Amino acid sequence: MLPPDGDGQPGALQTLGQFALVSYIPDPLARFLDDLRMELTPGCMPRAHVTILPPRPLYEVLKDVIRQITVESLSVPAFRVKLGKVEIFEGSHVVYIEIAKGAKELRAYYDLLNHGPLEHKEYFPYHPHITLAQNIPAEQAPQLAATARERWAEYRGPREFTVSSLSFVQHVAPSIWTDVAEVHTGVEVGVGR
């Protein structure tokens, strides 16, 4: 399950029935990010990920859309993503970790897929990131970001991962996203890159 992560939508419930494309982050980094997210926003149901296509409605046959994602992903080499600093989006007050390396590749992947039946005008411009806290009062964002910065500074595990496997997910009920299909990029890269 994917957390109710608006990623470009002005409210998590507005994405019910919509689809997104994400790359799940592996442990131990995912476990740290999920624990941090639960500390910052108790009651959430996190599954650490980076979003390639934010939530969007589909008006085409699902299997045709999955086929399009699968075929177009074959031209994308796997790539590394390294996480940077904790920041706050001004307009939405979302607390997030910036992408220090791999943002260019994520944007290119987004541009490759955001056409035809997957084309969607985002509420906010696509900005690759890892969400830590959202749907919070604006006045809480600075303190939550400060807590996140402390925990992130203390974390001694890996801060990067490879994007090579993606999940096409659907928002099926409040706070519940389900995996619909798994998609792979065309070329694997070594861990040392």
Phi, psi of 169 (to 5 degrees): -125, 155
- Domain range spanning residue 142? 12-184
Residue 175: per-residue pLDDT: 73
Low-confidence ranges of the chain (pLDDT < 70): 1-14, 187-193
Interacting residues of 31 by C-beta distance below 8 A, sequence separation 6+: none
Answer yes or no: is 87 within a domain.
yes
**Is residue 1 within 8 Å of 24, Cβ to Cβ?**
no
- Which CATH number covers residue 160? 3.90.1140.10
Answer yes or no: is 5 within a domain.
no
Answer yes or no: is 66 within a domain.
yes
Residue 1: per-residue pLDDT: 38
Angstrom distances, CA of residue 37 to CA of 34, 133, 134 = 5, 6, 9
Give the chain's domain count.
Answer: 1
Residue 67: per-residue pLDDT: 93
Report yes or no on whether pTM surpasses 0.75: yes
Residue 174: per-residue pLDDT: 78
Answer yes or no: is 144 within a domain.
yes
Q: Write the DSSP symbol of residue 139.
A: G
Residue 44: per-residue pLDDT: 87
Residue 185: per-residue pLDDT: 92
Residue 13: per-residue pLDDT: 55
Among residues 159, 169, 182, 158, the alpha carbon closest in space to that of 47 is found at 169
